[in-house]
Amino acid sequence: MSGILRSRNRRDISEVSTPSTSALKALDMDEPSSDLEIYAKEVLTALIADNLPPTPNNFSLYFDRLLEDKSENLRKQIVSMLELEDSNNDESSMVLEQSLKQGFLSVKNILSVTANLYKNMALMSKILEKRKKELVEHPEIQEAIGVVVALEGDVSKLSEILKKQSSQMKVMYDETASIVKNVENETVFDNQFGVYNKRYLMAKIEQEIGMIKEFKHKSSLIFIELSRELAATIKNEKALVLMTRTIARLLLKTSRRSDIVAHYGNGKFAMLLKHTDLDNAKRASERLCDLVSNSNFFLSDREIQLKISIGITDIDQFHSVEEIVVSALDGIEKAYAKHNIDYAVSLRTNNDNLI
């Protein structure tokens, strides 16, 4: 069956038109009773027309893409329904990861407080020793010297107990740190910016390459960063981080459910656009640039117009994940080289040279 699927020609989803009424009837279903049912059957018809298996992932992807061409009222109606669904396992994982790291931070704080307590006990022992020496110089108060000696012994015992407990807590802290580190190696979210992390992005690109090899569709990858020219004018490091976080939020706002938004590192973000050819990737980049440029950032009494640079490349089965990422990053460099443009496309030749 898979051999048959590979031998058929598939259109890019950007070329899919709304199915006709006769095509819907060809599905031999009961007459739809709502706009949502009609639309769902259009999505299924488009999948069948493109010879794609109607799996949940494919249906979800086409569901989002075809919705862009519908009326605003229908889009709002369907989006409202989707917002009522609370079944995003990845978001639940994100909350779990954040809770785990917060718990580890609490353990670290407890260890820090205990260490300070031990230091204070050591200081108290030194103070008692000093006071005892002062009392020795006054033989007439021998009883007070006895009390201080007894107190010194008690403090010493307490200090030893606290020292032993501190050592035990240090061992538990190290074990907890090892567990958290192992978990971090498997995490999929970037806590700083609230999007997916590099590890998840690379895995998804690898997965998409496999899907393209199987089903012959087109997908694109875009890389985004805060304009270096703008960043150079901002001397406040905290302000730069806040501006970068704003970019991350805008990426999430403009992305569709099937898009993967991730932080690649050093303030660079990526969007994996499944079933999206280069022309549609360029249109998506234009919309994103417009959205960002219309979102001003206030720094003290200064209003700053945000600006981004975008690199675009295609994803194919003939190049590795790393080569595709390098190509998208090269697109950003091309955008800077051409000055008055916000985005540029970078393609690979058969010899793996960028053009």
The whole-number average pLDDT for the span 17-22 is 49
Residue 292 domain-assigned?
yes
Does residue 195 sit within a domain?
A: yes
Domain check: are 211 and 261 in the same one? yes
pLDDT (mean) for 28-41: 70
**Is 237 in the same domain as 264?**
yes
Domain final residue pick, 184, 203, 220: 184
Cα gap 229→254, rounded to integer Å: 24
pLDDT (0 to 100) of residue 93 = 67
Give the CA-trace dihedral at 131, 134, 135, 140, to 10 degrees: -160
Number of domains, the chain: 3
* CB crowding 51-77: b at 16 or more within 10 Å, else e: bbeeeeebbebbbbbbbeebeeeeeeb
* Of the residues 84, 107, 123, the one at which a domain ends: 84
For residue 298, being part of any structural domain is answered with yes
Taking CA atoms, 291 is separated from 181, 208, 335, in Å, by: 37, 27, 18
Query: Quick one: 194 and 311 in the same domain?
Result: yes
Are residues 71 and 147 located together in one domain of the fold? Answer: no
Phi, psi (5° rounding) for residue 138?
-125, 85
Are 203 and 71 contained in the same domain?
no
If asked whether residues 73 and 112 sit together in one domain, one would say: no
Measured CA to CA, the distance from residue 296 to residue 324 in angstroms comes to 32
The last residue of one of the domains, among 40, 60, 84, is 84
Q: Facing residues of 344 across strands?
A: 311
pLDDT recorded at residue 1? 37
Query: Cβ(70)–Cβ(39) under 8 Å?
Result: yes
Same domain, 19 and 97: no
Mean pLDDT, all residues of the chain: 82
Check: CB of residue 308 under 8 Å from CB of residue 292.
yes
**What's the pLDDT at 355?**
65
pLDDT of residue 24: 46
pLDDT band at 37 (very low <50, low <70, confident <90, very high): confident
Question: Considering the domain boundaries, does residue 352 fall inside one?
Answer: no
71 and 211 within one domain: no
* Residue 212 in domain: yes
Q: The domain that contains 223 carries what CATH number?
A: 3.30.70.270
Q: Give the model's pLDDT for residue 103.
A: 74
* Shared-domain flag, residues 170 and 213: no
Highest mean pLDDT among 96-100, 103-107, 141-145, 250-254: 250-254
Q: Are residues 215 and 338 in the same domain?
A: yes
Domain of residue 317 covers 190-345
Q: Contact at 8 Å (CB) between 59 and 41?
A: no
* Claim to verify: residue 161 and residue 136 sit in the same structural domain: yes
User: Is residue 147 in a domain?
Assistant: yes
Same domain, 221 and 322: yes
Tell me which H or E stretch contains 320: none
Asked whether residue 354 is assigned to any structural domain, the reply reads no
How far apart, in whole angstroms, are the C-alpha atoms of residue 257 and residue 222?
16
In the prediction, which pLDDT does 328 show?
98
| Contact status, residue 284 vs residue 223, Cβ threshold 8 Å | no
Q: Is residue 350 part of a domain?
A: no
pLDDT reported for residue 237: 92
In this prediction, residue 4 carries a pLDDT of 34
What is the CATH classification number for the domain harbouring 136? 1.10.287
Please tell me the predicted confidence (pLDDT) of residue 282. Answer: 97
pLDDT tens digit sequence for 39-71: 899 999 999 998 888 888 889 889 988 888 888
